[in-house]
Structure 1
Amino acid sequence: MSSGWTNERSAAGSRNPWLIVGVISLATFMEVLDTSIANVSLDHIAGGLAASRDEATWVLTSYLVSNAIVIPISGWLSDVIGRKRYYMISVALFTLSSLACGFAPSLPLLIAARVLQGIGGGGLAPSEQSFLADTFPPEKRGAAFAAYGVVVVVGPVLGPTLGGIITDNISWHWIFLINVPIGIASLLLVNTFVVEPKVLEKERAKRLKGGLKVDYVGFALVALGLGGLELVLDRGEREAWLESPFILVLAITVVLSLAMLVWWELSRKDPIVNLKLLGNRNFAITLVFMTATGAVLFGTTTLIPQLLQQVFDYDATTAGLALTTGGIATLVAMPVVGALTGKVDTRFLLVPAMLTQAGSLWYLTALNSDFTYGAASMARLISAVGLPFLFVPINSAAYVGLKPNQTNDASALLNVARNLGGSFGIGVAQALLIARAQYHQDRIVEGLNPLNPSYVEGVNQLSQTLGGEAGQTGTLAALMQQVQQQAQVLSYIDIFWGFMIFVLIVTPLGFLLKQGKGGGEAAA
């Protein structure tokens, strides 16, 4: 057992701590599965509720916004309500709102239920990671987070496939109703096996002794800042970004709110979001790594299937399967990193893992018009092998030097970093994709004129290939299609280069991490 660590905060009590991993993983699987399962069912939801597809996307946006607001304050809520009690409330709310989603008769009611579902889901991951950090000593946290991470990986891999099967063969309603039995089972298991340690009860009683002090200003700034930021990133592309008055006003509100949030929370004795944790070097660095990992992971997860479908005309199922190989590779690597974390210097895990991500992105920069399904799968495989060597050590190293009563706040901020990183990755990639495609198309078209011998030769060859019936109009249309495809390919290459450079810039920060046995000793 590590120096200074005790099990007085353990959620397992006198039971085997590995039992806790299994118990909390059930709700994790439910929440992660539901996040990805709804994506493939939007057209069916829109048709079933007499709405357009753009209106139906609010089913996703509403969840993300409410989730983004709750996650940063989940540490405070856990301290005030009680960790086990707050976790069970979150599971119950997620389960009941899933039931409401399944029976929603209209789109507004479905969106309202998704808001509640996002509030419930936002409290799950931070509480679960706090359970693990307090239940396992530092030298065993890596293995615990690896076991927990398996569920986090399986959910997104199975989600789209399961969602498609349910939607096509039963009804979209069941992508939500499937959560109900899982949620009930989770509540029963948590109530039976998870313990609320006495030391946490004493800390809660001490906090509430002088009356509950709620940081209403901080909560309002979180809602405006992080909720608004999620809304900007999710809706920006559809609304033409800053060309839309709505997005422009919202973006200004977000910047002002986040700036005020930092000032306000740092000046508070009992903040709703503990930003003072950023004064811990290890924690600040792991937040940067988690943000970068979220950006690259979610960004490429969106880009690769999109590339295969829009540019190379793959169907949705085949495009999705290109990511499955990566999911399998991650599952295989999880036990390995779990065994190494705590025995190997964290820097020797994180830095090579980041370089692996850079390598997979570099592989994708060789993209051309002959890009194949196998090449996409290989790029995802290279990236996926390195992911466990990022997530597990990051979660293990984040708690080095923190006080035991700071694990709830730390877990909340780690999840904020991952989610915001993912939103930034997707939002920035989609914006740049459009801009760079237009740029490359303009550059290519500049050379397409009758004074260019290569252009004339190309048109003649294309005309002969198409045959005489196509005529000049058909030839030019085919040529323009090739121009657009080439411009799109070049724009994807630009995005992959950008991600790679970003990863390489962040990587050296890994050498600044402090070390201790097991990835660091708890500062008990």
Structure 2
Amino acid sequence: MATAAHRPAGVAGGPAVGPVADVAALPVRNTWLVVFGIMTASLLQILDTTIANVAIPHMQAALGATPDEISWVLTSYIVASAVAMPITGWLADRVGSRRLFIASTAGFVLSSMMCGMAQNITEMVLFRALQGVTGAFIGPLSQAAMLDVNKPSRQAQMMGVWAMGIMVGPILGPLLGGWLTENWNWRWVFYVNVPIGAIALAILLAELPSRKVSRRRFDLFGFSMIAIAIAALQMMLDRGAQEDWFESPEIWIYAVAIVSCGWISVVHLATNKKGTLFNRALFADRNYVVALVFMGAIGVGVFATMALLPPMLQRLFGYSVIDTGWVLMPRGIGTLISMQIAGQLTRRGFDPRYLIFSGFVLTTLSFWHMSGWSLGIDQQTIVVTGFLQGLGMGLVFISLNNAAFATLAPDLRTEGSSLLILMRSLGASIGISVTTTFLARNIQASHADLASHVTASSTAVMDVSTIDRFQALGSTALSALDVEINRQAAMIAYVDDFYLMMWVSAAALPLILLMRPARRGPG
């Protein structure tokens, strides 16, 4: 059995105590088959964070829902997933990680089928919440399982394989969802999970090993406080723009709940000696704590960008859903390439801090380049910039995961993974909410500024040779001009968001100084 001192060579942490035993914590007969089953289940869950988004208009029409009601299809999934995720570690200790993984995968497949069969908006929201709860456990369990079934010398490489699904899933989701919706039916956005999930379930049932269970006490008070704070944060971020933020009493209620329950959770974690929801040993590991902050920044960078780019390409550049997916695909290819490079370098003892730094530099440069985009940008530039950003994110993600888990004992992996993924999810929610709010406000401000320079008698915006024709068309010409003003205002707002994310990415760089240096271990 591996211990906390048994870690892959070259990954950040304290000095190794004795020789490293290159043996998996949970050896299996066919490692690659188990890895395939784990990856399949993990990819399904990640795909479902974005695959349903493009089908929302079709769902709304079929289920007879109002715009406010249909938004709960996304909100219920996000909130349920975020609230359930913190108890992954306790459940895995209590019932066993194998049982929980299999039950979660089976529950996710079943709830996906129920979503596809939903006949009204109430059923859809309920089944999506169930899908969120069952899917919440899959991410942390899959990451911990990938570490457990692989020996230390291969963990960096296998974490790269696992991370591919995490990074590529949000890109493939809209592409697959758009294709299924256009060529089949919106219900197939959910039905597609059933046969693929059944394959993953069969492999996990046959091959996934079990870990010894423990009877750890459940911290009901701590979970209640954390759950209320997380749910309130997700609700505030989801409904803030709709309710005009702090002009609404509803948003103030959420804010008070976040601050009060969040503070109580921190005090409870620091002072309770009978056992807390999260093991305090996690927060004694400096590299892990820094990785939590970095993971929040990754959530902002990856998911906020993926929330902005598809509508920008479709509305301003006229791309179809399928074409948008193809244009964004090089971002995923860049991620795959850099993850493999990072995994190989880490195995050879390369300090992951340098990889994290390089990744954030590439990501910052890509956002800087995007902040100079205009409506005249060509497709090649979009592809190259996306590829560069994918390279940066891949370097950061795999190196950060390796550094975070390097000094954690095997029995803390599931709990540590759930907290890391929760931070990534919260970062994504905050990033998406902030950037979309800024986008809406900046569109209005830019439109007002541009429109103030355009009147029926203005010649500065017209070709003088066609001024007579323009004035003869009257209101029709001004309407056409207003459409172009809207496009220009939207482009300015998108550029402002990219500029904001550039500074978020750059602000994360100094945190690398807080990480312990990598040390070469034996082997």
Normalising by structure 1, report the TM-score: 0.89
Which residue is equivalent to 1:82?
A: 96
Distance across 1 between alignment mates of 2:261 and 2:426: 16
* Residue 428 in structure 1 maps to residue 443 in structure 2: no
Which residue is equivalent to 1:274?
A: 279
Superposed CA RMSD in Å reads: 2.6
Instruction: Determine which of 93, 96, 115 is the counterpart of 1:101.
Output: 115
* Residue 458 in structure 1 maps to residue 484 in structure 2: no
How far the C-alpha of 1:36 sits from its partner, in A, is 2.1
Which residue is equivalent to 2:234?
A: 230
* Residue 349 in structure 1 maps to residue 364 in structure 2: no
How far the C-alpha of 1:353 sits from its partner, in A, is 0.5
How far the C-alpha of 1:226 sits from its partner, in A, is 0.9
Which residue is equivalent to 2:328?
A: 323
How far the C-alpha of 1:379 sits from its partner, in A, is 1.8
SS of the aligned residue for 2:287 comes to helix
SS of the aligned residue for 1:387 comes to helix
**Bigger mean CA offset, 363-372 vs 293-302:** 363-372
Distance across 2 between alignment mates of 1:393 and 1:406: 19
Which residue is equivalent to 1:506?
A: 508
How far the C-alpha of 1:360 sits from its partner, in A, is 0.5
Opposite residue 250 of structure 1, the aligned amino acid is: Y
Would you say the 8 A contact 2:26–2:148 is kept in 1? yes
Q: How many residues align?
A: 505
Opposite residue 193 of structure 2, the aligned amino acid is: N
**Bigger mean CA offset, 419-428 vs 378-387:** 378-387
Opposite residue 492 of structure 1, the aligned amino acid is: Y
Would you say the 8 A contact 1:237–1:431 is kept in 2? yes
Unpaired stretches in structure 2, ≥5 consecutive residues: 1-5, 8-15
Instruction: Determine which of 258, 278, 298 is the counterpart of 2:303.
Output: 298
Unpaired stretches in structure 1, ≥5 consecutive residues: none
Which residue is equivalent to 1:160?
A: 174
Distance across 2 between alignment mates of 1:62 and 1:388: 29
Distance across 1 between alignment mates of 2:378 and 2:241: 28
Opposite residue 89 of structure 2, the aligned amino acid is: G
For residues 315-342 of structure 1, the C-alpha deviation after alignment (integer angstroms, 9 at most, x for no partner) is 3333333211212222333322221123
How far the C-alpha of 1:425 sits from its partner, in A, is 1.1
How far the C-alpha of 1:299 sits from its partner, in A, is 1.0
Which residue is equivalent to 2:11?
A: none
Instruction: Determine which of 33, 39, 52 is the counterpart of 2:53.
Output: 39
Which residue is equivalent to 2:25?
A: 10
Which residue is equivalent to 1:398?
A: 404
Cα distance change on mapping 1:83 and 1:100 into 2, 3 Å: same
SS of the aligned residue for 1:57 comes to helix
Would you say the 8 A contact 1:72–1:412 is kept in 2? yes
Which residue is equivalent to 1:340?
A: 345
Would you say the 8 A contact 2:372–2:495 is kept in 1? yes
How far the C-alpha of 1:114 sits from its partner, in A, is 0.9
Distance across 2 between alignment mates of 1:301 and 1:43: 19
Cα distance change on mapping 1:345 and 1:311 into 2, 3 Å: same
Distance across 1 between alignment mates of 2:327 and 2:504: 24
* Residue 219 in structure 1 maps to residue 234 in structure 2: no
Instruction: Determine which of 476, 484, 488 is the counterpart of 2:490.
Output: 488
Cα distance change on mapping 1:456 and 1:179 into 2, 3 Å: closer
Which residue is equivalent to 1:72?
A: 86
How far the C-alpha of 1:175 sits from its partner, in A, is 1.9
Distance across 2 between alignment mates of 1:153 and 1:190: 23
How far the C-alpha of 1:462 sits from its partner, in A, is 8.7
Q: State the identity %.
A: 31
Cα distance change on mapping 1:467 and 1:78 into 2, 3 Å: same
Which residue is equivalent to 2:415?
A: 409
Would you say the 8 A contact 1:10–1:131 is kept in 2? no
Distance across 2 between alignment mates of 1:10 and 1:17: 12
Which residue is equivalent to 1:126?
A: 140
How far the C-alpha of 1:66 sits from its partner, in A, is 0.5
How far the C-alpha of 1:142 sits from its partner, in A, is 1.5
Opposite residue 126 of structure 2, the aligned amino acid is: A
For residues 217-267 of structure 1, the C-alpha deviation after alignment (integer angstroms, 9 at most, x for no partner) is 112112211122122222322332223332232222122221211112222
How far the C-alpha of 1:130 sits from its partner, in A, is 1.3
Instruction: Determine which of 374, 382, 386 is the counterpart of 2:388.
Output: 382
How far the C-alpha of 1:171 sits from its partner, in A, is 2.3
**Bigger mean CA offset, 2-11 vs 270-279:** 2-11
